[in-house]
Amino acid sequence: MYGIIDCDNCYVSCERVFRPDLNGKPVVVLSNNDGCVVARSNEAKRMGIKAGTPYYQLAELFPGQKIAVFSSNYELYGELTGRVVDIIRKEVPAYFRYSIDECFVYLDGMEHLDLKQWGETLHKKIRQYVGMPVSIGLAPNKTLAKTASYFAKKYQGYRHCCLIDSDEKRRKALKLFPIDEVWGIGRRYAAKLQSMGIHTAYDFAECHLEWVRLTFRNIVIERTWRELNGEDCVPNEQLANKKSICTSRSFNGMVADFPTLRTHVANYAARCAEKLRMQRTVASIVGVFAHTNPFREDLAQYYNFQEQRLLTPSSSTTTIVQAATDVLQKIFREGYQYKKAGVIVMGIGPNNAIQQDLFDINAEQFEKMRRLDAVVDRINRLHGTETIVLGSQQYTRKDGKGKADVFANAIKHDFRSKNPTTRWSDIIILK
């Protein structure tokens, strides 16, 4: 038996943990640089606020409405969802974190329990200990568990936990489950199925396997069909670690000079390195892309992507930032207004069996860099992200007298909340 535990309206729920006055009120969280809506409370959804709505249009579309607006605060979201995972891992034989707000669990050896009651109790415990609402789906495989979590989230009668443990329940759930919500079926395939008259998960599950193979010729679609019919066939190792990691962002305005673009890329590369260490992996390829704004037809357009292979696979911030900077120097072109850049690390493998290159750094240097990263990660966890960064990660600007001034970042977050669980400067003061 499998389960998936999903934080409800994750970003909004994180903001409400320290702002209980916002419970029952419309709340939205914006994307990087306060661009558009990426998360909404149930109240905001009922108002008609759509995901992707530009922030500047909210006042125009909903005049006179009081909407609580927050900038993205991933430091806070990562900390609180990490606490949720800490509770989960103590309650199950095995688990793995699928995303920032979702965690799969394996329930082998727990069949003697009333799993429905167990799920409801776990929901209450997480709500009491962390303040986060979660929905829990339990089923014989991961796809059906995702289906069950959908019903646990949508219908209050399930009391935050839905269990699919019989063929009768499976059929009933699939008949009510839209095909475009099925895990493993993307937008393109969902549109194709709907054009064929297949509108629910049950319609798809009733198709013949040979028809699925001939129509889609896709192993993921076939596995999804099998799981909807009760088989357990999505490999666990396929979900454990990411095979590539990308960190990218649109800029707050345009960037034309190399130093500022390099600083953005250095920050993205450092974040990729941190993610590699979090999942105990290393990368062998570092790629960088940069492009102009395709919607500005009045400006010259440019896009480029290149990659560099590392002699020794690494998760070192210094190594990956240096490689990303080298690639950026190759693709940068003067005279363009850049709107977005990103770093992609690929060729990811475990960090416990690294074959060093004869012409690369020696074992002593490698171990020294590993210890340095460990210390920096620990300090940043204790005192807040980016407490310690590389010099190349710091943005500079000219003051009124023409002198360079160093400042932390160039991301617009005018509505960012505090981080009372990770920064001493933001700790809550009780009066």
| Rounded Cα gap, residues 280 and 278, in angstroms | 6
pLDDT averaged per 10 residues in sequence order, the chain, 431 residues: 94 94 94 88 93 90 92 89 92 86 90 92 96 95 94 92 94 94 89 93 94 90 93 68 78 88 92 89 92 89 92 90 94 93 89 59 72 83 73 63 51 83 84 77
Residue spans in the chain of domains classed CATH 3.30.1490.100 = 241-393
| Rounded Cα gap, residues 196 and 207, in angstroms | 11
| Rounded Cα gap, residues 160 and 390, in angstroms | 44
pLDDT of residue 422: 81
Which 8-state DSSP code applies to residue 54? B
The CATH class given to the 166-238 domain equals mainly alpha
Question: Token pair 């909004």 is at which residue?
Answer: 12
Question: CA nearest 6: which of 73, 84, 79, 77?
Answer: 84
Domain covering 241-393 in this structure, CATH number: 3.30.1490.100
Residue by residue, DSSP assigns 79-95 as: HHHHHHHHHHHTTSSEE
pLDDT of residue 410: 57
Question: CA nearest 290: which of 268, 301, 305, 274?
Answer: 305
Question: CA nearest 249: which of 38, 33, 417?
Answer: 33
**254 residue type, one letter:** M
Contacts of residue 131, Cβ cutoff 8 Å, sequence gap at least 6: 13, 16, 17, 80
Which 8-state DSSP code applies to residue 65? -
Residue spans in the chain of domains classed CATH 1.10.150.20 = 166-238
**308 residue type, one letter:** Q
Helical ranges in 310-385 per DSSP H: 317-331, 363-383
Q: How far is CA 280 from CA 10, 172, 273, 343, 352, in A?
A: 25, 41, 10, 19, 8
The beta strand positions in 197-261, using DSSP E, are 245-255
pLDDT of residue 411: 64
| Rounded Cα gap, residues 84 and 93, in angstroms | 16
Q: Tokens at residue 431, please?
A: 């009066």
Backbone angles phi, psi at 70, to 5 degrees: -130, 145
pLDDT of residue 361: 59
Confirm if 372 and 388 have CB atoms less than 8 A apart: no
β-pairing verdict for 161-163 and 134-139: parallel
pLDDT of residue 407: 46
